[in-house]
Amino acid sequence: MKRLAILGATGSIGTQTLQVVDAFPGQFEVVILAGHSNWQLLLQQAEKYHPACIVVTEPTAYEKLKQENRDPGCAVLCGMQGVLSALDTYQIDMLVGAMSGAAGIEPTLKALEMGIDLALANKETLVAGGDLVRKAQQKSGAKILPVDSEHSAIFQCIEPGSKCLNKILLTASGGPFRTWDKEALYQVTPAQALKHPNWSMGQKITIDSATLMNKGLEVIEANWLFGVDYDNIQVLVHPQSIIHSMVEYGDGTVLAHLGKADMRIPIQYALTWPERAANPFPKLDFTKLAGLEFFDPDYDKFPALALAFQAGRTGKSAPAVLNGANEIAVAAFLKEQIGFMDIPALVGWVVEQHNPVEIESFAHLLEIDRWARNQAELFVKNHKK
């Protein structure tokens, strides 16, 4: 039995990870479950999966759970400190990193340092802390299995040891505003941006998908995971989300990964790797596909993608600043404090003021992240809608 810790258990990836666990009885043991504010769901999950420990990272939610007087049948810890202490206390074989945002970085780094394999959904970890992740991984030998559908696809298309990989073709649905005029994008509301055409995901990544910042973060993620230069990562808009990404080789061969837009498939692959196991989830029916389209992304309408490429190429602390600023921008947009097109404007403004430096440690990364967030808050404060 593979022993799992699932961080972000109450979210979109977390709950789908538990569906994968359900599909393979006897193969996985859920040892640690962590959620942030949704203590009710975490409690239900504890009652169903009997973990050794649950962690509520949001203190008020922790208090509410305690007041409930319902015995979850396991240890209950609080806060990020609780997550770190659970990792020290309980034996696990794999950590599923599915917290949203930069909060996921610290426990992910700790797991890697401890030599625990990682099923990684939290792309912010690699974007902001790529250097630290690589060092921790090299030291301990822990593996990173990508959960992000595009990176899982690329991981499966890359032939081990191949010397003639030309480029990665990273596919993007294009989001809900792919066909909109640029002028209309200034009027986009949170409700409109939260309606993704193909995927059902958490709020932050759904907004990132609408601005194409998500694809930008994925470009940086791909650079870290596969060591492919930015010049050799091509973003390709593919509205049907059937091809999850491709790899082109020097002999002209292109290997593509196709499948339904169902995150349980890449989650499962990360959990069962190197095995590929049959599951009961719906399969692709080619006779029902109307056609597959491909376009270049529109960098003018979606400047976030260009900003991410630029931050990735600059390297050092630039991607961490891009990431921190973007998290504040997305939260401000959701609260209707800034407009949709202000998201890339804010991120560009913060990145421009930053003088990139090598990230020395996790404490240093936190300092840079805090600086980026403070600058972003300043932009929001001075902004007039």
Beta carbon nearer to ligand NDP, 281 or 349:
281
Q: How is the beta sheet containing 28-35 ordered, strand by strand?
A: 75-78, 53-56, 28-35, 2-7, 94-97, 117-120, 144-146
Kindly indicate which of the ranges 144-152, 309-317, 339-347, 365-373 contains the residues binding Mg ion, using the contact rule CB under 5 A. Answer: 144-152
Give 325-364 as a DSSP string.
HHHHHHHHHHTTSS-TTHHHHHHHHHHHH-------SHHH
For 157, half-sphere exposure in the C-beta direction (CA atoms, 13 angstrom radius) is 26
DSSP count for the chain of H helices, then E strands: 16, 11
Beta carbon nearer to ligand NDP, 165 or 168:
168
- Helix/strand/coil for 278: coil
How far apart are CB 217 and ligand NDP at their closest, in Å?
A: 7
Q: Is 124 in the site for Mg ion (CB under 5 A)?
A: no
- Residue 211's binding partner among ligand NDP, Mg ion, none (Cβ under 5 to 8 angstroms by kind) is none
Kindly indicate which of the ranges 88-96, 149-157, 219-227, 346-354 contains the residues binding Mg ion, using the contact rule CB under 5 A. Answer: 149-157
String of contacts with ligand NDP for each residue 102-141, x by CB under 6 A: -x-----------------xxxx-----------------
Q: How far apart are alpha carbons 181 and 179 in whole angstroms?
A: 7
- Name the one residue in this structure whose structure tokens are 């967030």: 373
Beta carbon nearer to Mg ion, 327 or 342:
327
String of contacts with ligand NDP for each residue 346-375, x by CB under 6 A: ------------------------------
Return the structure tokens found at 177.
Answer: 């505003």
How far apart are CB 9 and ligand NDP at their closest, in Å?
A: 6
Give 105-174 as a DSSP string.
HHHHHHHHHTT-EEEE--HHHHHHHHHHHHHHHHHH---EEE-SHHHHHHHHHSPTT-S-EEEEEEEE--
Q: Is 232 in the site for ligand NDP (CB under 6 A)?
A: no
Distance of CA 381 to the CA centre of its chain: 28
Residues 6+ apart with CB under 8 A from 193: 176, 177, 206, 207, 210, 333, 340
How far apart are CB 10 and ligand NDP at their closest, in Å?
A: 4
- Residue 99's binding partner among Mg ion, ligand NDP, none (Cβ under 5 to 8 angstroms by kind) is ligand NDP
- Asked if 210 contacts 196 with a C-beta cutoff of 8 angstroms, the reply is yes
- Residue 317's binding partner among Mg ion, ligand NDP, none (Cβ under 5 to 8 angstroms by kind) is none
How far apart are CB 195 and ligand NDP at their closest, in Å?
A: 15
- Residue 57's binding partner among ligand NDP, Mg ion, none (Cβ under 5 to 8 angstroms by kind) is ligand NDP
Kindly indicate which of the ranges 95-103, 231-239, 330-338, 345-353 contains the residues binding ligand NDP, using the contact rule CB under 6 A. Answer: 95-103
- Name the one residue in this structure whose structure tokens are 């239900």: 44
Q: Is 196 in the site for ligand NDP (CB under 6 A)?
A: no
Beta carbon nearer to Mg ion, 90 or 281:
281
- Residue 171's DSSP bridge partners are 236
Which of 23, 24, 29, 37 contacts ligand NDP by CB under 6 A?
Answer: 37
For 236, half-sphere exposure in the C-beta direction (CA atoms, 13 angstrom radius) is 23
Which of 117, 124, 148, 342 contacts Mg ion by CB under 5 A?
Answer: 148
Q: Is 14 in the site for ligand NDP (CB under 6 A)?
A: yes
Q: Which residue lies nearest ligand NDP, judged by its C-beta?
A: 11
Which of 199, 281, 299, 362 contacts ligand NDP by CB under 6 A?
Answer: 199
Q: How far apart are alpha carbons 156 and 12 in whole angstroms?
A: 23
How far apart are CB 287 and ligand NDP at their closest, in Å?
A: 27
How far apart are CB 282 and ligand NDP at their closest, in Å?
A: 16
**Amino acid sitting at position 360:** E
The residues of the shown chain that bind Mg ion, judged by CB under 5 A, are: 148-150
